[in-house]
Amino acid sequence: MKMVSVSEALSLISKHAQDLPAVKLPLRESLGYFLAEDIHAPISIPPFRQSAMDGYAIRFGTAESYEVVGESKAGDFREFGMEGAEAVRILTGARVPDLADTVVVQENICREGSKIRIQRMPKPFANVRPIGEQVKQGDRIAKKGTKVNAHLLGFLAGFGLEEVLVINKPKITVIVTGNELQTAGSPLRPGGVYECNGIAMEATLAEAGFPVASLGQVEDEQFATTKAIAKALEADVLLISGGISTGDYDFVKTALEANGVAEIFYQVNQKPGRPLWFGRKGKTLVFALPGNPAAMAVCLQVYVMPLLRKISAGGDFSFDLEKGILFGDLDNACGKGRFLCASEESGMLRLLGQQACNTLGGLAQANALVYVEESVSQLGFGDKVQFLRINRW
């Protein structure tokens, strides 16, 4: 299978990005999920005529003096006769008695014992919120595909909703490969490196609201790699780091084939991140990412994150590139799609000095990835460039 371009790789991934099934969740547990259906108001807000101010509820008229016959505070439910020139002391948010139609703010009242004298009469119906002033029963209050944030969750709670239908989140398994990998906490052995790819992948996904169900490590050995992948194919999305190049100890590709995972593409004409593999078995989508940390992180941002957003949110598959202005020069004589660490401010992009693919140092400092298409050989100061926002959660 031939090497594909960046745009071809994105198109092929998009074709296999199918929405996950919907699931009902308790409202309190729905934070960060995307709604699977429109939500309509089960009640009106406010559900009763409500006082907008502290003051006195009256029947609008020409009287200047009123007898106070009771009080209505938030949560009360009591009716008053309101015969003649009678008033009810009322507090903000309280139910306005049925026979009252106007609330006089307390600043415009002079009270003496049980009587009040209105110093400034408001207009009829002043300071009374009618039923459904904010939302009427049956109105759409949330649109399908909307992400449940803290404010939306609280808004829905105000309608008495206990559960919502949301698109499920993917079950994600991560496998990192390599004999050289070592966990932190012990002195580094000769030839060893501390494992960082799995930690960075898990953290990147967590920032975007995608928890990793399982994170495992496997040595560069055929049987162990094949066994680890077989177990991980229960996931919706399987991410493998390393072992996908063509070296003597790269066993991921043959292990995927042994497990019946169909290859959709292998190798992308880009730098960094050329040895990217994408395939599928049943419902499970598999990305075999490069082992070099920066190459892995670029592929994660460019290919994996758009897929995860699509399958868990519905809508279109989108690679969210923005346009900016290059502050400097850029040579792309290699004829590949390039992803370069950059600092963006007010649409101006400065390339960073650290662009090595074997470290996350450049990505740790960057807030943008500049993307240069393979057909573009050179760019200069002031030229328009495309970029992807990163590290801005």
Q: Helices 6-15 and 305-313 meet at what angle, rounded to 10?
A: 30
pLDDT of residue 79: 87
Residue 323 has a CB neighbour count (10 Å cut-off) of 10
pLDDT of residue 78: 86
Helices (H), 238-329: 252-258, 293-299, 305-313
Q: What is the pLDDT of residue 11?
A: 97
DSSP, res 246: S
- Give the three-state DSSP class for 341: strand
Could you give the CA distance from residue 200 to residue 298 in angstroms, rounded to a whole number? 12
Most confident of 59-68, 71-80, 273-282: 273-282
What is the four-CA torsion angle of 206, 161, 128, 111, rounded to 10 degrees? -90
How far does Cα 164 stand from its chain's mean position? Answer: 17
Q: Kind of pairing, strands 86-90 and 65-72? A: parallel
The token duo for 166 is 């949301």
Q: Are 90 and 51 in contact (CB under 8 A)?
A: yes
Cα Rg, the chain, nearest whole Å: 31
**393 confidence band (pLDDT: 50, 70, 90):** low
Alpha carbon distance 312, 314 (integer Å): 6
Q: Is the peptide bond before 272 cis (omega within 30 degrees of 0)?
A: yes
Would you state the pLDDT for residue 1? 66
pLDDT score at 100: 95
Q: What is the pLDDT of residues 310-350, one digit of tens each?
A: 999 988 898 889 999 999 999 999 999 999 999 999 999 99
Assigned token pair, 215: 């994170």
All domains of the chain in start order, with CATH = 6-20+169-313 (3.40.980.10), 22-44+133-167 (3.90.105.10), 50-129 (2.170.190.11), 321-389 (2.40.340.10)
The span from the CA of 46 to the CA of 34, in Å, is 26
Exposed / middle / buried, residue 168 (Cβ in 10 Å: 0-12, 13-18, 19+): middle
Mean local confidence (pLDDT), 257-266: 98
